[in-house]
Amino acid sequence: MTADKRRYVVTAIRGVLVLTGAVVTVAVLYSFSTMPTASASDDGFVRGLSYLFGSVFFILALGGAGLGLALPSLLGADDALAFDRWQRRCLQASGGLFVGGFVAGLVAGLLTALQYGLLLWLVAIVLAVLVVSCVLVWRLFEVFVTALVRLIAAETGE
């Protein structure tokens, strides 16, 4: 596969993961916000179950979006966001949390109970999303500081 085709495939997969993750996240948040309140005669079982499954979908959607953002770093491809070496390492570590959390969750689920493995995997996804979010804030701060330095240099004539 040529470099252009590989870049196109990685970008397409990345776009699908990020877009799908964002759409599902917004849909879950919208369904949570429009969910009717429980009546006084209801014990809240259905509402609690919908919150449980909605939360799982929310975490998986955020994980998919995070994995989409970390994908070029995991595959060693060029990134349009121009992450530096340490940011790429952090994104690779978050990819390790995605994959390693799945494997550890699968093993824990098979050895103990499936729900414990699922919980372990969801915790790993949340940690990975936190790492990806921190890297994005880090990169955004770098871009802001660089733009600010250029603006100050242009105004002072340096």
Predicted confidence (pLDDT) per residue in 55-85, tens digit: 889 998 988 888 888 888 887 777 777 888 8
Rounded to the nearest integer, the mean pLDDT of the chain is 87
> Band of the pLDDT at 157, cuts 50, 70, 90?
confident
Q: Mean pLDDT across the stretch 117-145?
A: 91
Share of the chain above pLDDT 90, in %: 32
Q: Are 51 and 32 in contact (CB under 8 A)?
A: yes
> Band of the pLDDT at 1, cuts 50, 70, 90?
low
Q: What is the largest CA-CA distance in the chain?
A: 72
- Residue 94 structure tokens: 């978050």
Q: Mean pLDDT across the stretch 123-141?
A: 91
**Per-residue pLDDT, 138:** 92
pTM (global) more than 0.85 = no
Residue 1's Cα: distance from chain center in Å?
28
Q: How far is it, in rounded angstroms, from Cα 53 to Cα 33?
A: 15
* For residue 24, pLDDT beyond 80: yes
| Nearest of 5, 104, 24 to residue 63 by alpha carbon | 24
| Nearest of 97, 95, 87, 94 to residue 138 by alpha carbon | 87
